[in-house]
Structure 1
Amino acid sequence: MEDYAFVPLYDAQCSAGAGAWNDHCRVLTNLSFTRYSLRKQGLTPEHLSAIRVDGDSMEPVLHSGDTVLIDHTRTTIEGEGIYVIRLDDHLYAKRLQRSFDGVEIISANKDYERITVPKERMVELEVIGRAVWAAGWL
């Protein structure tokens, strides 16, 4: 078992409250990863957690019910990527892209419009971490 690391999978009710992102969450189970696979990606188990995606805004990239692994050390927007964010006390898995005006929040599903968070409102956007792995049922 020493070759494996266990990462907590939190329940879907993580969006309530204004405290730490997981204040009102409970651990449903732990996901098992080989330490080698995490180390190969530059990840440390102590800085990881997982949550489930809810909704269709990130389809076809992420589907409702998919699980994403969050690297909590990556809270700065580094290029374009999928991040778990809190905005208006709700958690979202969205593609983020810096722009001259602030940050663009982008859904993969074209039925959803981009949202721009202007520079003066950036304090309202909390980056929980970058999504580094995803899995779901086919």
Structure 2
Amino acid sequence: MEANGKNSDGLPGSGAKDGKDDAFIERLKVLVSKVGSANALAKTAGISQSGIQRYLNGGEPSRKALASIAIAGGVSIDWLAIGRGSPTDTPVEPAGMEDYAFVPLYDAQCSAGDGAWNENSKVLTHLSFTRYSLRKKGLTPEHLSAIRIDGDSMEPVLHSGDTVLIDHTRTTIEGEGIYVLLLNDHLYAKRLQSSFDGVVIISENKQYQPVTVPRDRLNELEVIGRAVWSAGWL
């Protein structure tokens, strides 16, 4: 931090003697709490966990990192950088981010255990992906959304608290894959497999037994989409 209260990128700081912008650190902690954890914020912003920890300890983010963190937390850059405005203000996509697509993360819980579903789900924040990486996977941002896992039945592939990206165009079971499905008013992330008897719902955790939805009850099973990413392509 320079003596004039600005960092090397020209961003305003507190000018604190110890070089830390305590107000910025507190705003960053707000985003950590909002997203769920420092690791989750790092994953969503596309930066390293050590980077987030460094900023929480007083390190100065680059302009690009600042923009990515603000977008991941669903706040304006002005609020995150200098506290101008409110964290509830609608964020504006910054210039220079045209190569990124922003996918909504909903607060609907996706159970990998007993099941949970929030009918009044809202957008918590947006996840940033490069448009190039999505094109390589044949994905379009308009057909994607994300939700969080709750439960342990898909461990070790998916852990409670993990975020999964859903491709809503893939509602037909293609071989065997992990899908987000709605059954008995509950939302699940499970491995689905077609069989002669119907559709087998499989948990990765062997403590949970497979469940078969018979063919005459397949109308009760709604495939929301295929899970394609969770901190890495699936």
TM-score normalised by length of structure 1 = 0.91
RMSD (Å) for aligned C-alpha atoms: 1.3
In structure 2, how many angstroms separate the alpha carbons of the residues matched to 1:33 and 1:16?
A: 25
- Structure 1 runs (4+) deviating above 6 angstroms are none
Counterpart of 2:197 in structure 1 is 101
In structure 2, how many angstroms separate the alpha carbons of the residues matched to 1:106 and 1:71?
A: 19
Partner SS, residue 135 of structure 1: coil
In structure 2, how many angstroms separate the alpha carbons of the residues matched to 1:126 and 1:95?
A: 14
- Higher helix fraction (1 or 2): 2
The CA deviation at 1:13 is 4.5
Gaps of 5+ in 2: 1-96, 111-116
1:68 matched to 2:164: yes
CA contact (8 A) 2:163 2:230 kept: yes
1:1-138 matches, within 5 Å, as 1-13=97-109, 15-17=117-119, 24-135=120-231
Q: Deviations over 1:64-92 (max 9, x none)?
A: 00000000000000110000000000100
Q: Deviations over 1:58-117 (max 9, x none)?
A: 000000000000000000001100000000001000000000000000000000000000
Partner SS, residue 112 of structure 1: coil
Partner SS, residue 37 of structure 1: helix
Aligned residues: 130
Query: Percentage identity across aligned positions?
Result: 82
In structure 1, how many angstroms separate the alpha carbons of the residues matched to 2:154 and 2:108?
A: 16
CA contact (8 A) 2:104 2:123 kept: yes
Partner SS, residue 65 of structure 1: coil
- Higher strand fraction (1 or 2): 1
TM-score normalised by length of structure 2 = 0.54
Computing the radius of gyration from Cα coordinates, the structure with the larger value is 2
In structure 1, how many angstroms separate the alpha carbons of the residues matched to 2:189 and 2:101?
A: 24
Gaps of 5+ in 1: 18-23
The CA deviation at 1:16 is 4.1
